[in-house]
């Protein structure tokens, strides 16, 4: 084999390796972990406007197939439910909220507090009392009840109802921007 042929083979191998790494990166991006940014103040104080987060996309898919549900207080990213797309939201947009009710739970807001199954829920991330009332609602099967942490300024289940589990994109994993807040997403 001549040195020119050897260089050509090496270049081909380098290109193959690069293409494989690009395909792996794209697969991870589309199927496993995805970067997102926070466009609104509905999750303040936990997440601020313009925070950058990573979302994990496998758990909702596995849980959906196994008929299991996410943990209460998980922060989820999801496609808008049908009622919002009919009102003008883009089907390709994504929203972020906290899971406060699972199928079978009864959710209610009264006297500025959230109640799940008639028990007041302690939510240390809420900075001010809820300024609306919500009659008791039973969360249907294959659905979640989601609310923003900034309860008085959030377009969430108290307005549009249960979130179909099939709309889930992923769960919030970590914040990577701003640098001073880098790390796992924790309650304030």
Q: What is the DSSP letter of 121?
A: P
* Residue 82 known to be catalytic: no
Distance CA 122, CA 115 (A): 9
Measured distance between the N- and C-terminal CA atoms of the chain, rounded to whole angstroms: 65
Q: Of residues 42, 74, 154, 157, which has the active-site annotation?
A: 42
Distance CA 22, CA 16 (A): 10
Q: Of residues 57, 74, 79, 97, which has the active-site annotation?
A: 97
Task: Name residue 36's beta-bridge partners.
Answer: 53
Distance CA 105, CA 142 (A): 12
* Residue 97 known to be catalytic: yes
* Residue appearing with tokens 């307005």: 159
User: What positions carry a catalytic annotation?
Assistant: 42, 97
């Amino acid at each position: 084999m001549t040195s020119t042929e050897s260089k050509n083979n090496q270049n081909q191998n380098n290109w193959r390796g690069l293409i494989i790494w690009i395909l792996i990166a794209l697969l991870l991006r589309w199927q496993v972990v995805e970067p997102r940014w926070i466009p609104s103040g509905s999750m303040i104080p936990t997440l601020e406007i313009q925070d950058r987060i990573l979302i994990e996309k496998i758990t909702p898919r596995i849980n959906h197939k196994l008929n299991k549900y996410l943990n209460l207080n998980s922060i989820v990213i999801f496609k808008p439910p049908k009622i919002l797309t009919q009102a003008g939201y883009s089907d390709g947009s994504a929203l972020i909220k906290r899971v406060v009710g699972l199928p079978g739970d009864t959710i209610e807001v009264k006297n500025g507090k959230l109640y799940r199954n008639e028990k007041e829920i302690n939510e240390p991330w809420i900075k001010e009392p809820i300024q609306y009332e919500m009659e008791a609602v039973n969360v249907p099967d294959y659905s979640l009840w989601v609310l923003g942490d900034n309860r008085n300024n959030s377009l969430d289940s108290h307005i549009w109802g249960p979130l179909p589990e099939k709309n889930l994109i992923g769960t919030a994993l970590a914040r990577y921007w701003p640098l001073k807040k880098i790390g796992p997403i924790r309650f304030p």
